[in-house]
Amino acid sequence: MVQIPNTPPPASPAPRSVPTSADVARLAGVSRATVSYVLNNTSAVRISEPTRRRVHEAAEELGYVPHAAARTLRAGHSRMVLMPAPAVPVGPLYGQFINELQWALGRLDYTVVQHGSVGLHGDEAARAWAELRPVAVLVPGIGLGPEGVAVLKRAGARAVVTVGPARVEGAHALLMDHGSVGHCAGSHLHARGRRRIGVVVPQEPGLEAFSRPRLDGVRRALYGTDASVAELPLAFDERAAAELAARWRELGLDAVFAYNDEYAMLLMCALQDEGIRIPDDTAVVGADDLMIGRLLRPRLSTVHIELPSGRDLADLVDRAVRDPDATPEAHRVLGASVVARDSS
Amino acid sequence: MVQIPNTPPPASPAPRSVPTSADVARLAGVSRATVSYVLNNTSAVRISEPTRRRVHEAAEELGYVPHAAARTLRAGHSRMVLMPAPAVPVGPLYGQFINELQWALGRLDYTVVQHGSVGLHGDEAARAWAELRPVAVLVPGIGLGPEGVAVLKRAGARAVVTVGPARVEGAHALLMDHGSVGHCAGSHLHARGRRRIGVVVPQEPGLEAFSRPRLDGVRRALYGTDASVAELPLAFDERAAAELAARWRELGLDAVFAYNDEYAMLLMCALQDEGIRIPDDTAVVGADDLMIGRLLRPRLSTVHIELPSGRDLADLVDRAVRDPDATPEAHRVLGASVVARDSS
């Protein structure tokens, strides 16, 4: 980093102590309880309009901001919905889903907080999350077990919702079966007459939770047919793709499901550089239905994945928070369908 | 969402109340103060090993998790570093930066929390963040003003760090001048003999903070030369790109700086479909140096952007927290250099 020579330091304001609700009460000439009623918009207590105004003016003048932690302690729970921040850079599909979810929860008056629990796993992470006393926790991926769910509930979480391949005891489940993504791709390639089908398995850590079920899905689709499946480990870099492409003819494959559109672009490009014709020699199918697939030549066939709507998920969270003792719900939320273009 | 018929509901455990440090103290037969000393690893007080063990065992048995809010109230501040969650889906470059930053702050014993303040802007957002009483706030982009900084500091934030184009009074500043990205691209195209240079300006909301300075940077690079600059509004979809490409010949441009690699891919593909030869008829330069640029044919020239290291930024945050009264620092952190490939 390049240090920039400072212009003469701006006169820094004298350090002030953090204003409290007691300061607001003193300035407004009311009790602390009244301040709390007014600023939390409590309707249970009747407070005159002039008093309300005086409290608001005093809070404004002092720059008082309510303290979420203090409110949490009083109420026993917060309006905070906690999610772990994704540890791998998320694709545009998932990023959009998260934004929609935050927006929908915000409209229901929740605050969404993504906890950067990098390096913590499973129930250990649950303990770190529990320290913030969220009212609900939303956990994508795998790793959280029944013990972690119990830790969160004991810490006051009224709802734990997992988003992953299987149910976890005590938690609501949005079941995302990535096997269906692979199944789609496998059936499509088989229907197009392909019989020796490669499946790309990314070597980047953190993707196994998606790549394994996708591979298994292809296997399931082809089970009992005359087609065979070959696992193709691949790192997301040009050299690895070129090496795989150089071995392509001896592998004798006539199709490949490339995990997703980005890997498909990487591999397709390497295959074309090797003189392999697509789709004549090898059919290629990606997944995620990203824009880049439509820009490739030939245009990339892909599996379109339908994530749950952020609004539906926000409604589930809210329902669960209102009725923490209800039997956990389970919903299948992943839709998968092939978009056939020119590469297969 | 598809509701899945429930198997017989698992016997839900009887609701328990949230265990407190008082419960731990009772079970371990020690005072609450001792529980607090042991679980917060305070070294100021000597406590025997057997007592420590008894407290840990009792906490384990009860499933007690410390309460961050209570600790915050006692200590007057937390170890929470708050960042707003990005409102637009972030690219891989920025995603990696965020991950590294979280990891580095985690090693310094901070908890990173991304606040989903979708729909809140500037100082209004600052008030929502202040409610969580973070010890430091890290704000990318623009919008936060001196008033917002003051709100955060009054609420106990020891450090506010902005990451953007200009300094904000009272805050440390990581200055990212995206003008340098455009300047690089403009100088490069001029040096290659191009004289009628288009600059793509994305129509997606939220990108103006980057696209405007990039456009201005190109203008600055060409100021006083015989080259001209044309602004090209473009939405990120195939139809918009095809329409722009159809008008290309009448625009009479011999080069385009396409905002970033993704827009470059979109536009390059549309130009090639129109029979425009790249780089012979039109040179194309992207930015971000993504993998996709190396997979395009011709290979895409791009501006490589160097973000600050997450570790350096974490160190700055930590330094600022330790010395909240220090004069705000300002660092230039954006490196930009052209990677010339075959498209320009």
A69/B66 CB distance under 8 A = no
Which residue range is the domain that position B31 belongs to?
A: 21-66
Q: Which residues of A touch B269 (CB under 8 A)?
A: 295, 297
Residue B3 lies in a domain: no
Chain B: closest CA distance from residue A117 (Å): 8
Identify whether residues A171 and A255 lie together within a single domain.
no
Residue B146 lies in a domain: yes
B294/A133 CB distance under 8 A = no
User: Could you give the 3-state DSSP secondary structure of residue A18?
Assistant: coil
* Residue among A95, A112, A169 minimizing CB distance to B90: A95
Q: Which amino acid is at A127?
A: R
- Return the higher-pLDDT residue of B115 and B274: B274
The size of the A-B interface in CB pairs under 8 A is 219
A99/B87 CB distance under 8 A = yes
* Mean pLDDT in residue range B149-156: 90
pLDDT on residue A72: 62
Nearest chain B alpha carbon to A310: B1
- Return the higher-pLDDT residue of B230 and B35: B230
Residue A14 lies in a domain: no
Query: How are strands ordered across the β-sheet holding A301-306?
Result: A228-234, A196-202, A255-257, A283-287, A301-306, A335-339
A150/B3 CB distance under 8 A = no
A66/B131 CB distance under 8 A = yes
pLDDT on residue A137: 94
Identify whether residues B251 and B164 lie together within a single domain.
no
Instruction: Show which of residues 176-235 on chain B sit within 8 Å of chain A, judged by CB atoms.
Output: none
- Helices B49-62 & B32-39 angle (0-180, nearest 10): 90
Please report, in tens digits, the pLDDT of each residue of chain A (344 residues total): 545 544 443 444 444 567 888 888 899 988 888 888 887 766 667 888 888 889 888 888 887 877 776 666 666 567 889 998 876 666 677 777 888 888 899 888 888 898 886 667 778 888 888 888 899 999 887 778 899 999 999 888 999 999 888 899 999 999 888 999 999 999 999 999 999 999 999 998 878 888 999 999 999 999 999 999 999 999 999 999 999 999 999 999 999 999 999 999 999 999 999 999 999 999 999 999 988 999 999 999 999 998 888 898 999 999 999 999 999 999 888 889 999 999 99
User: Could you give the 3-state DSSP secondary structure of residue B269?
Assistant: helix
Residue B54 lies in a domain: yes
DSSP B6-70: PPS---PPPP-PPP-HHHHHHHHTS-HHHHHHHHTT-SSS---HHHHHHHHHHHHHHT----HHH
> Sorting pLDDT into bands at 50, 70 and 90, what band is B63?
confident
Read off the CATH number of the domain in which B258 is found. Answer: 3.40.50.2300
DSSP A311-332: HHHHHHHHHHHH-TTSPPPEEE
What element of type H or E holds A12?
none
Q: Which residues of A touch B238 (CB under 8 A)?
A: 291, 294-295
Chain B: closest CA distance from residue A219 (Å): 25
pLDDT on residue B261: 95
Between CA A260 and CA A267 the distance in angstroms is 11
Residue A220 lies in a domain: yes
Residue B153 lies in a domain: yes
Identify whether residues B185 and B284 lie together within a single domain.
yes
B239 touching chain A per CB within 8 A = no
Identify whether residues B104 and B194 lie together within a single domain.
no
Q: Which residue has the tokens 């709100």?
A: B151
Q: Which of A156-160, A161-165, B60-64, B73-77 has the lowest mean pLDDT?
A: B73-77
pLDDT on residue B9: 38
A238/B112 CB distance under 8 A = no
A132 touching chain B per CB within 8 A = yes
> Sorting pLDDT into bands at 50, 70 and 90, what band is B89?
low
pLDDT on residue A10: 40
Q: Is B212's pLDDT higher than 70?
A: yes
* Residue among B63, B76, B329 minimizing CB distance to A150: B63
CA B168 to chain centre: 18
Identify whether residues A88 and A171 lie together within a single domain.
yes
Predicted complex ipTM = 0.75
Identify whether residues B163 and B190 lie together within a single domain.
no
Q: What does the block give as tokens for B286?
A: 């992207």
Q: Which residues of A touch B156 (CB under 8 A)?
A: 18
Identify whether residues B248 and B292 lie together within a single domain.
yes
The total domain count for chain A is 3
pLDDT on residue A75: 62
Identify whether residues B190 and B302 lie together within a single domain.
yes
* Mean pLDDT in residue range B62-74: 71
CB–CB of A254/A222 below 8 Å? Answer: no
B118/A103 CB distance under 8 A = yes
Q: Which residues of B touch A98 (CB under 8 A)?
A: 85
- Residue in B12, B18, B158 to test binding to A, most A beta-carbons within 10 Å: B18
A85/B102 CB distance under 8 A = yes
Q: Which residues of B touch A2 (CB under 8 A)?
A: 331-333
Identify whether residues A199 and A290 lie together within a single domain.
yes
**Full 3-state SS string of A169-187:** CCCEEEECCCHHHHHHHHH
User: Could you give the 3-state DSSP secondary structure of residue B152?
Assistant: helix
A106 touching chain B per CB within 8 A = yes
A65/B19 CB distance under 8 A = no
Identify whether residues A242 and A301 lie together within a single domain.
yes
CB–CB of B148/B93 below 8 Å? Answer: no
Identify whether residues B48 and B60 lie together within a single domain.
yes
Residue B227 lies in a domain: yes
Read off the CATH number of the domain in which B30 is found. Answer: 1.10.260.40
Q: Please say which residue of B66, B88, B123 terminates a domain.
A: B66
Identify whether residues B33 and B147 lie together within a single domain.
no
Residue A51 lies in a domain: yes
CA dist B308 to A84, B152, B163, B172, B287, Å? Answer: 24, 24, 10, 14, 17
A118/B102 CB distance under 8 A = yes
Nearest chain B alpha carbon to A96: B89
Q: Is B71's pLDDT higher than 70?
A: no
pLDDT on residue A102: 86
CB–CB of B119/A106 below 8 Å? Answer: yes
A65 touching chain B per CB within 8 A = yes
Chain B: closest CA distance from residue A285 (Å): 17
Q: Is B37's pLDDT higher than 90?
A: no
Strand partners, A2: B332
Strand partners, B83: B114
